Structure 1
Amino acid sequence: MMSSSRRSRTQKMRVPQFAQRGPLEVPLPTEKDWPVDDEENYEFQDLNMGLDSLPQPYRMISKLVDLLIGWAWELIEEREMLKEVESNQIPPTIYSPCAEIQDDTSKQSTCVKMKISYGGDFAAFLLQGSGDVWLDVYKLPKDSWLKEVEHPQLALNSKKKIRQPQLNPLDPVTAENAEMDVSISFKGDVKLSLPVYIMKIKPPKPITGTTFKSPLECFAKIEDYCGMGSGQNHFIRDSHWEQHMEVFYTTYKKHLDKEREEEPLSVATFHFLLPSCITTMPSEAKIPPGVVCTLGMHWTGSHNFFFYSLNKSPKDKVDPENVWPCAAPIAMSQLSGSSSYLVLACEDGVLILWDLIQGFPFGVVALPEGYFCQSIQFLRFFVVHEGQNMYPEGPVKSQMKCVVLCTNASLHLVSASGTRGPTIEVLVKKPLKHLEEAICTVAVIPALPGMVLIFSRNHSVSLMDVAKAEIICAFASPVSHQLEVSWKPLFIVSAYHPYFLIHSMEGSHSDGETEPTNDAENTSNSILYFNFEAYPLLENISKNCTISQKVLADCNALPQVLPLEKKCELLLQKSFQKLAKNEANRRDWWVRLRKYSMFLHRENLKK
């Protein structure tokens, strides 16, 4: 079409040769005047016969158009063939369902998180459903379970079919039901008692304007000093909140103009705590040693860390016994394995370190500006003796080390010792060029003092000495085993033995090569086993990893053996012994203050 149109235009514009006047000049032929054409066997054509060849780039365009027309024609023929095949098929008989059963998932409760206390005496379940979230706490009758399993009670009528009770084990148990002999039947006619429901904890209510008319009325409504600092009982009016919000929106208007996504439900992080100077309990409560007595928790976006006593009944009012307010919302918290130390990581990058056993904070340490905490791993305290990391024999008090992984893949070592302020060291800087070397997770190795496993995005696994901030060695999987492309390392490190296991995935192909694949049929899973004692560089570290207190005293490797530190420790111990006496005095002061506020309130009413 393009060639024909060009020819028509050429015929209109070209002047016939016989109409030209004057002598004819025949130009000398040159190669640059030859028409350029990529067609083979090209021959000059007469002006009045056939079509002239198109110049570039029109010849290429014409070829592409012809190619597209050919592809379209092939698709049309293929579709026509499929339609013809489908029209010749006989459709099967289709039956409609007899009934439709619908489950309303919005009314069901989903368990988001659960945790069992050390020793198995208590359990907590974080549940959500119907747009609400709450934490249910239960006491587990483990002693009764052991007796019931050792001496199973046979059914009175063995021929009678036992009907399984339609009970939800997470439903609250009232005080009347808790006293009854309620049981669940299992196979073998073994009956186990139900857990005892203790309390239901909900997220703190948003702070609104006060309904109190005077500060004295506010004091009179508060039953005791427990829960002070939570912000629930205050004397801030609605007008004050409105002024505060107006100033806030005026200041940050440019950041709030964008559409805000719906905030997800709040999630709780909770820990079971052993008895200590911080976890105050009633004097009449008798708690066996090694049994948890307090639940510590915080909610998403909350500034407060709450303490709830586990010595409660369903009839008791669910109020926190203690509240720790923080300057910024708490992003995450981590409790050490021995329940001795607690770290609160705030959203502004500040870490608050607590010694729960002794009852005082180590101090506050801040991550570099712009760094935010992703995970916290506690290290068993170790000392460096003659260039080797070693665990001190016997208990060590007020000595803490932990590694902190930030969201930008940087790794830090945080140390705290007694009355000294905490320190922070950079172990691995954030990657700037080689992003594939970024750390995705970290694991502590209890069998090797001061050693951690580092898992990187490039599927590498390396062993680091945090005392030297050096990579000791790396662990590579066999050639026939390739780790997954989208790697989320699945592993476990033994707490008592020098080895770790890691999950590996292998994909096989017809060409004999092995590479990761998402095809489940061509994928084989395996578990890789690494024993530290099987490698010459590490075999002696786990075998000789302890040092006696006498050697430490001779070399002053521990700060506690220093005379000044020892004196400070004794002084602190004496001050902690006074806390019990102060607790009783505080209750008396609170009762007297409340009575006096009620007296003043009555006097004001008389006026």
Structure 2
Amino acid sequence: MACTEDGRFLGLGHSQGLSVWCASSFTRVAEWLQPRLEVTFIQITRMAEMTYLLGTVDDMGVSRVFGLHSGVIHLLSAINIMEGVNKRSIVVTFDLHEGGRYGAASLSCNGAVWLEVYQFPVEAWLRELEVAPSQKKEKNASEGSDVKWSPVTLMIKIFPPTVPAGKTSDFLTSCLALDIIRSSRHQETQESPSSCTQHFLLPCDQSTGGSRARPGLPVAVAVWWSGSHNILQYSLQKAPNDGRDVTPLPEMLWPNAKEILCSAVSRCTCYIALGLEDALVCIWNRQSGAPLSIVLAPEGSSPLSRVQFVDSWPVSAQDCHIAPTKPVGGLVSSKNGAIYTVTTGQGMQSCTMQLIERPKDSRDLPTVTMTLPFLQAVSLVVQRSGKMFLKDVLDRSTVCYLTPPSSYRIASPYNPVYALNAKQRALFIRGDPETDCHDLSRKGNQSRLFVFYFDQSDIFKPHFLSHVDPPRQQTTLCHGSLEEICNLYLEQRAHSADERNKALVQTWGKLQESAAGMQQTPQSHKHLKNYNI
């Protein structure tokens, strides 16, 4: 399930295809049906006024791109066309950038994995969609069968990192070589093949944007592979004309001391948050090319499962007076179910607070934790048991519970089907009838779509924000020259001196505890952990 940015439409992926519904009247606008096909992922974004682009992945790993125009869904392109049974590529993940001009898909075939970044011919598709309805009416043909849509351009094709042949040993090639060794060890211990995670990056300043950068369009893509310690940035401005024949080299590399487990980018994409091994959270500043902060979450024995930024983070009067820029806030989730809030920023000390404790019952483990952009400092939590509630991240109190009718329960709480409509301040979530019913085959016992409207309850009024859409571009001063970037880096280092000294003291304390343990137990050196200073 997916909702458009403007809140008008809701896209549903289901058996035998997909459909688009009006988010306010709940009337079906259009549908695209195909027998023996089940859509397992759907994303929708607006290309122009009342014209939308949809990206899907079905249960066979085929990704398609559709256009919604004048109440008709048109199949514009199939991303991975099957060339043969032995050469059939499977789309693992698919991502449409807002506006529909770019897309990215991670694919797998015979044990090989790679990432493809596409550029969609939005202007050409808009012209073709204008004439498509008339062609269909005149020729009385099946939907879109006689229309030749403009092809999709493959910009770059990214494989797991390799050391470039003939390159002299430098920092980038040395980091890539170490990553290859680490990744091979990771694959030896993991049953699943290597996978990649990507994020589109907007221009952050003159040095990364370039003169050809258009407002709102990405200029680069950040990629990291499972088992890797490094996150790589590839330019979309310098992409080759034929990405199939040229393997691009990363233009930037951010090294980390620990393996990357999860990642997120801020709405302005100027910050990249990485969840690392040993419960470390590193937030990189793309403007300075240096870490903004490195935070150690409590209970470091549990691996991190997710990090996410919070746009509407509350700012105290003290922080506004001390910090030269707005603090950066985020949520950090660990696999044991504990959730933490992290607040950091230039010129201020990082603060970590536990929002939800580790549950004692496995049914209380959270499966969904996300912030609501129209509510300040409020997070939505869905548990395996099917319970849904809103949590205040400041005082850690439960704002309220969201409960479906007594005869229904949240469908597949381990992986709930839901969508958030920020414009209407509403949550859409699928519910199924209780399983103790004996007549599940009756028509009245099918799934339902439940809607929770937050603006219809007075309990949320103290949390409402005056605006819903934070600016995507950062409004701080741009640092275009190398001298200004270096000055910004030195300034951040000076502001974070106290915090780094505190971390150094904590590290020495852990080393002393480990040394004391080695003296008490002769065999304990086998389990000694390494700490980087």
- Fold in common (TM above 0.5): yes
User: Partners in 1 of 2:448 and 2:416 — Cα distance?
Assistant: 13
Larger Rg belongs to: 1
Alpha-carbon contact 1:270-1:295 (below 8 Å) kept: yes
Summarize the Cα distance change of 1:385–1:425 in structure 2 as closer, same or farther, 3 Å threshold: closer
* Structure 1 match to 2:358: 430
Summarize the Cα distance change of 1:145–1:397 in structure 2 as closer, same or farther, 3 Å threshold: farther
Tell me by how many angstroms 1:366 deviates.
1.3
Please list the CA deviations of residues 468-489 of structure 1 after superposition, one character each: whole Å capped at 9, or x if unmatched: 1111121222222234586532
Aligned match for 1:230, one of 175, 183, 206: 175
* Structure 1 match to 2:261: 331
Counterparts of 1:316-395 in structure 2 under 5 Å? 316-357=246-287, 359-368=289-298, 369-383=300-314
TM-score, length-normalised on structure 1? 0.55
Tell me by how many angstroms 1:111 deviates.
0.8
1:198 matches 2:126: no
Please list the CA deviations of residues 356-380 of structure 1 after superposition, one character each: whole Å capped at 9, or x if unmatched: 3565422101122212211223211
Report how many residues are paired.
Answer: 383
Aligned match for 1:499, one of 426, 430, 440: 426
Aligned match for 1:110, one of 68, 83, 90: 90
Summarize the Cα distance change of 1:380–1:151 in structure 2 as closer, same or farther, 3 Å threshold: same
SS at match of 1:230: helix
1:148 matches 2:75: no
Tell me by how many angstroms 1:539 deviates.
3.9
Tell me by how many angstroms 1:464 deviates.
0.9
Tell me by how many angstroms 1:398 deviates.
4.5
Aligned match for 2:458, one of 516, 532, 536: 536
Counterparts of 1:409-488 in structure 2 under 5 Å? 409-432=337-360, 434-484=361-411, 487-488=414-415
Q: Which letter maps to 2:216?
A: G
User: Partners in 2 of 1:451 and 1:295 — Cα distance?
Assistant: 30
User: Partners in 2 of 1:541 and 1:144 — Cα distance?
Assistant: 43
User: Partners in 1 of 2:316 and 2:251 — Cα distance?
Assistant: 44
Alpha-carbon contact 2:383-2:413 (below 8 Å) kept: no
Alpha-carbon contact 2:304-2:332 (below 8 Å) kept: yes
1:135 matches 2:115: yes
Q: Which letter maps to 1:231?
A: L
1:268 matches 2:179: no
Summarize the Cα distance change of 1:193–1:365 in structure 2 as closer, same or farther, 3 Å threshold: same
SS at match of 2:149: strand
User: Partners in 2 of 1:147 and 1:140 — Cα distance?
Assistant: 13
Alpha-carbon contact 2:382-2:413 (below 8 Å) kept: no
Alpha-carbon contact 1:116-1:124 (below 8 Å) kept: yes
User: Partners in 2 of 1:116 and 1:321 — Cα distance?
Assistant: 23
Structure with more helix by fraction: 1
Summarize the Cα distance change of 1:224–1:273 in structure 2 as closer, same or farther, 3 Å threshold: farther
Alpha-carbon contact 2:233-2:253 (below 8 Å) kept: yes
Q: Which letter maps to 1:303?
A: H
Tell me how large the CA RMSD over aligned residues is: 4.2
User: Partners in 1 of 2:402 and 2:357 — Cα distance?
Assistant: 21
User: Partners in 1 of 2:419 and 2:358 — Cα distance?
Assistant: 26
User: Partners in 2 of 1:544 and 1:106 — Cα distance?
Assistant: 55
Tell me by how many angstroms 1:186 deviates.
7.3
User: Partners in 2 of 1:124 and 1:451 — Cα distance?
Assistant: 31
Tell me by how many angstroms 1:399 deviates.
2.6
Alpha-carbon contact 2:411-2:430 (below 8 Å) kept: no
Alpha-carbon contact 1:363-1:422 (below 8 Å) kept: yes
Percent identity, aligned pairs only, is 23
User: Partners in 2 of 1:419 and 1:113 — Cα distance?
Assistant: 38
User: Partners in 2 of 1:227 and 1:143 — Cα distance?
Assistant: 38
Alpha-carbon contact 1:381-1:400 (below 8 Å) kept: no
Please list the CA deviations of residues 23-44 of structure 1 after superposition, one character each: whole Å capped at 9, or x if unmatched: xxxxxxxxxxxxxxxxxxxxxx
Tell me by how many angstroms 1:278 deviates.
9.6
* Structure 1 match to 2:484: 578
Alpha-carbon contact 1:482-1:516 (below 8 Å) kept: no
Unaligned stretches of 5+ residues in structure 2 = 1-82, 469-475, 489-533
User: Partners in 2 of 1:545 and 1:271 — Cα distance?
Assistant: 25
Unaligned stretches of 5+ residues in structure 1 = 1-102, 163-184, 211-217, 250-255, 387-391, 509-514, 547-568, 583-607
Counterparts of 1:3-14 in structure 2 under 5 Å? none
Summarize the Cα distance change of 1:516–1:471 in structure 2 as closer, same or farther, 3 Å threshold: farther
Summarize the Cα distance change of 1:424–1:581 in structure 2 as closer, same or farther, 3 Å threshold: closer
TM-score, length-normalised on structure 2? 0.62
SS at match of 2:123: helix
Q: Which letter maps to 2:98?
A: Y
SS at match of 2:348: coil
Aligned match for 1:187, one of 144, 152, 158: 144
Tell me by how many angstroms 1:319 deviates.
0.8
Summarize the Cα distance change of 1:277–1:352 in structure 2 as closer, same or farther, 3 Å threshold: farther
Counterparts of 1:585-600 in structure 2 under 5 Å? none
User: Partners in 1 of 2:371 and 2:252 — Cα distance?
Assistant: 32
User: Partners in 2 of 1:262 and 1:427 — Cα distance?
Assistant: 31
* Structure 2 match to 1:401: 329
